[in-house]
Amino acid sequence: MPEIRYIDAINQAHHDEMARDERVVVLGEDVGRKGGVFGATVGLIDKFGEDRVIDSPLAESSIAGVAIGMAANGLIPIAEFQFADFIHPAFNQIVSEAARMRYRSNNAFGCPVVFRAPFGGSHGTALYHSQSIESFYAHVPGIKVIVPSTPADAKGMLKAAIRDPDPVLFLEHKRMYRLVKGEVPDGDYVVPIGPAAVRREGRDLSVIAYGWMLYESLRAAEMVASEGINAEVVDVRTLAPLDKDTILKSVAKTNRALIVYEDNRFVGYGAEIAAIIAEEAFGDLDAPVMRLGAPQVPGIPFSKPLEEWFFITKEKIADAIRKLAAY
C-alpha cells in the first residue's frame, strides 16, 4: 500500500467518487481553479468541469442551502466550508433543514450531502481559523459527525460519507493535512461510519481522543511507557453515532479513563463520553473519569506564550496520565 499525506487521501476520495458517480458535485469557496485553500480539490475542475466543480460566493448559508437543494433534486453534493469557524452562518440550514429532512418527511426522502470543514488549532491561526465546532453538530439528531485521523480513514470514510443517504459533517483537523502520512489501500474501499478504533493497546488506563489529539495522546503514551505506565489509546473517529461499546470495553479492561479533546473543556464533546462511562461503566472504574480540554476562553490567542498555554500538548496529556495512574 502506498504511503500518502492526509490531504492527498481526501483529494483521491473526491476524484474516485466523482468518477464513479456522475451525480457527485463539489461546491464551495475557491474549490475550482484554486483547488481549495488547502488543496483538497486540486485537479477536480480540470477533470470534471465547471458544471460539477462550482466556485461559490462567500456566503456559507448559501453554500449549505444550495447543497441541500441539489440533494433534493437527485445530486450528491460535497459542500466545502473553507474553515469550520465560518460554518456558523449555515447552522440553520444544516441543523433545521438537512438534519431533519428524513424525520419530517416520515422517511420519504433523505438529504445526501457531505459538509466538509477544516477545524482545530494550528500555530498562528488565532481566534478565527482555529475553532473546534464538533459538539454543536454532534448534539443534533439526523446528521452524522466524523473526524478521521489517518489517511486511510480520511479516504475511506469520505467515500462512505458520499455514499450515505443522509447528511454527514466531515471534519478534518488542519494540522493533519501535511503532517500526517500513512498507508492507504489501493482500489475502491470504504471505512464504515460508526466504529471506533483502538490505536494502542494498554492495560493501565484508557485515553480516548480524536483528530489531532489522537496523535498527541499516542506521543504522551510513549512518554509515560518508560515510567511503567501502559496506556491504551482509543480513536473515536465517529462522534455521531458514537461507538460506545468500544469505549466501554476499553474502560472495563483498564479501569481508568482520560478523555482528551481540543475544544473548550466545559460542555465539550468529551463531557458526553465521560457521562456515558460514569453511567454505564461505574462498576469498572478505579478512579474518577478525567477530562483534558482547552481552557474556557473564546479562542486560541495569537500571542505565542498564550497560544502554548491554550494548546493541549503531549506533555499536558502525559501529566494527566500520570495523575490518573497514581490515583
290-294 sheet: strands from edge to edge: 197-200, 231-235, 205-209, 257-264, 290-294
Q: Given this model, what pLDDT does residue 1 score?
A: 83
Q: Given this model, what pLDDT does residue 168 score?
A: 98
Q: Given this model, what pLDDT does residue 123 score?
A: 86
Q: Are residues 216 and 125 in the same domain?
A: no
User: Is 190 among the domain residues?
Assistant: no
Q: Are residues 206 and 72 in the same domain?
A: no
Can you give the pTM of this predicted structure?
A: 0.97
Is the CB of residue 149 less than 8 Å from the CB of residue 7?
no
Q: Are residues 114 and 87 in the same domain?
A: yes
CATH of the domain at 33: 3.40.50.970
User: Is 176 among the domain residues?
Assistant: yes
Inter-axis angle of helices 269-280 and 244-254, nearest 10: 60
End residue of a domain, out of 151, 183, 215: 183
Number of domains in the chain: 2
Q: Are residues 150 and 213 in the same domain?
A: no
Q: How far is CA 50 from CA 46, 60, 79, 243, in A?
A: 8, 19, 15, 39
DSSP structure class, residue 88: G
CATH of the domain at 279: 3.40.50.920
Q: Are residues 250 and 295 in the same domain?
A: yes
Q: Are residues 10 and 135 in the same domain?
A: yes
Q: Are residues 173 and 78 in the same domain?
A: yes
Parent domain of 25:
3-183
pLDDT averaged per 10 residues, the chain (length 327): 95 98 98 97 98 97 98 97 97 98 95 98 89 97 98 98 98 97 95 98 98 98 98 98 98 98 97 98 98 96 94 98 98
User: Is 191 among the domain residues?
Assistant: no
Q: Are residues 210 and 116 in the same domain?
A: no
Of residues 15, 88, 129, 173, which has the active-site annotation?
129
User: Is 192 among the domain residues?
Assistant: no
Q: Are residues 216 and 277 in the same domain?
A: yes
Please give the Cα distance from 271 to 265 (Å, whole number). Answer: 8
Please give the Cα distance from 101 to 107 (Å, whole number). Answer: 8
Q: Is the dihedral of CA 51, 54, 57, 63 positive or negative?
A: positive
Residue 263 one-letter amino acid: D
Asked about 129 being catalytic, the answer comes back as yes
Q: Are residues 154 and 223 in the same domain?
A: no
Q: Are residues 153 and 37 in the same domain?
A: yes
- Grid cell, residue 164, equals 450515505
